[in-house]
Amino acid sequence: MLTDLKEAVFKANMELAKSGLVIMTFGNVSGIDRRKGIVAIKPSGVAYDALKADDIVLVDLEGQVVEGWLNPSSDTPTHCEIYKAFPEVGGVAHAHSVYATTFAQARREIPCYGTTHADSFHGPIPLTRLLVESEVAEGYERNTGKVIVERFAGLDPLALPGVLVAGHGPFAWGRTPDEAVETSVILEQVAAMAFGTITLAPRLAPLDRHIMEKHYLRKHGPDAYYGQKKEEDR
């Protein structure tokens, strides 16, 4: 069942580990088949060097296992909430990468200080609120997804394809599992640059908006001209 999706999610998980963003088993990637409403996700606590494509677990959008003999990631309900709220998203990645997690633990969003950030994120990287005690006591992982969705009220999740969960760490997404991993890598690099920028210039204001807009829209806007045209557009 959904062999291609499981293979894509397996490869994306291996890329996340290869990127250096994951130590031990601190990370997971998922993907979704929108037509069937099935999510494929890494099993919980399985070491990356032991992971196989057949180990990837299939769940429905309520997190119930529909195929697999291993427990799905403990973060599965968070991924499912993101998929339910953001229909354009096809892959979600989570890692406790050092710099992005540092900002999450400091409860600070990541300002846009330069064009590297603006190339991929249309504004500062959002920060959620902390979960209250009752949200942690019951349905913690699902409520983590809900505070992400709450934070994105009025925001475009594809223009800002990542978030910092306060006290926890980053989640990133994209149209595919591979794209979600790529976003995770960019988010960590942007976080490292922002951390260095704040260290050197604590009072620096964010990048002027007209520069930020130029860099984002030349790559993502309707008149984008960065890169090469896709074959179907030629």
Specify which residues 165 forms β-bridges with. Answer: 169
Pick the catalytic residue from 49, 54, 119, 208: 119
Given this model, what pLDDT does residue 222 score? Answer: 86
pLDDT tier at 234, thresholds 50, 70, 90:
very low
Nearest Cα residue to 146 out of 77, 64, 59: 77
Tell me how many degrees the CA angle 23-77-59 measures, rounded to the nearest 5: 95
Residue matched to tokens 């998929």:
83
Average pLDDT over residues 163-186: 98
Q: What are the structure tokens assigned to 172, written together?
A: 């990133």
Q: What are phi and psi of 59, to 5 degrees?
A: -135, 160
> What are the tens digits of pLDDT across the range 131-158?
999 999 999 999 999 999 999 999 999 9
> What are the tens digits of pLDDT across the range 25-64?
889 999 999 999 999 999 999 999 999 999 999 999 999 9
Q: What is the mean pLDDT of the chain?
A: 95
State the burial class of residue 49 (Cβ atoms within 10 Å of its Cβ: 0-12, 13-18, 19+): exposed
Q: Does 221 have pLDDT greater than 70?
A: yes
Q: What are the structure tokens assigned to 113, written together?
A: 């200080």
Distance of CA 102 to the CA centre of its chain: 16
Q: Where are the alpha helices (DSSP H) in the chain?
A: 3-18, 76-85, 98-106, 115-118, 133-137, 140-151, 177-200, 209-220
Query: What does the buried/exposed string (b/e) look like for 171-192 if buried means 16 or more CB atoms within 10 Å of the residue's CB?
Result: bbbbebbbbbbbbbbbbbbbbe
Given this model, what pLDDT does residue 1 score? Answer: 67
Q: Does 232 have pLDDT greater than 60?
A: no
- Known catalytic residue at 226: yes
Asked if residues 128 and 151 have their Cβ atoms less than 8 Å apart, the reply is: yes
Q: Does 24 have pLDDT greater than 90?
A: no
Q: Does 91 have pLDDT greater than 90?
A: yes
Q: What are the structure tokens assigned to 78, written together?
A: 């968070």
Report pTM: 0.93
Q: Does 231 have pLDDT greater than 80?
A: no
Concatenate the DSSP letters of all residues of 169-208 into one string. EEEEEESSHHHHHHHHHHHHHHHHHHHHHHHH-TTPPPPP
- Known catalytic residue at 99: no
Average pLDDT over residues 208-234: 84
